[in-house]
Amino acid sequence: MHRMDDLLAGALARLTVLDETGAVVPLKGLWAERPVVLAFVRHFG
């Protein structure tokens, strides 16, 4: 039985972001072994 919030963690893990070179980075690898504080910020500027 999955908790709703763990479903969100799983949903985010299936997505990707880009690094400064434009390379695709799967979010999954970022918190597979260690916890993360994931901060979504507003526009950079």
Partner 1 sequence: MARLPEIERRGATMVVVGPAKPEHIAAFRQVTGYGGALYVDPSLRTFRTAGLVHGWASTYHPLAVVKGVKAFAQGFRQGARQGDVAQQGGTFVLGPGDRLRYEWRDGFAGDNPDLDAVVQAIPTPPARRGPEA
* Residue nearer to partner 1 on the CB measure, 1 or 37: 37
Report the nearest approach of partner 1 to the CB of residue 21 (Å).
7
Residues that bind partner 1 (CB under 8 A): 3, 5-6, 8-13, 15, 17-22, 25, 27, 30-45
Bridge partners, residue 26, by sequence: 16
Sign of CA dihedral 24, 37, 5, 30: positive
Taking the complex as a whole, the smallest distance from the CB of residue 10 to partner 1 amounts, in Å, to 4
- Decide: 29 and 17 in contact? Cβ < 8 Å: no
